[in-house]
Amino acid sequence: MNDTRDAVMPRQVRAVQLLLFGLAFAGMVVVLALEDGLTAYGMGQLIGPWLFVWVCALLALTFDGSARGGVRLTTIVLMVFIILPSFRQVFGAATSGELVEAALRIVLGVPAVVLLFLPEATAWFDRER
């Protein structure tokens, strides 16, 4: 007998996946919109936080298959490294572009972290393979 069970990803994990994909896409749009007239240093400051977002989006590709608790933990840690400096950037923003950029990371990043802490998400990453 073949005892294969089809595991269905919980809605919370799927929501995190979609939030991270949306945040990564928004990051590409923001970088393309704000790159005009920046120096190399300015581009580094602009792209730096978005690199972590893009890594998290790549990690989200594995959520439905082989992802384990380490992927969940890595995603949480990287998102915290993205969110915390964004708060400082929101309060010290010189232009409206900087404000929107940082607020976007906060608005989409905080729900992703909260959803990854829910019991359903934890159980999904700790399940038997």
Q: Of 2-11, 27-36, 87-96, 105-114, give the range with the top mean pLDDT.
A: 105-114
Q: How far, in Å, CA of 77 to CA of 71, rounded?
A: 10
Per-domain residue ranges for the chain? Answer: 11-125
| 116 in Cβ contact with 76 (< 8 Å) | yes
Nearest of 94, 101, 93 to residue 50 by alpha carbon: 101
pLDDT in tens, 45-70: 889 989 999 999 999 999 887 788 88
pTM of the model: 0.87
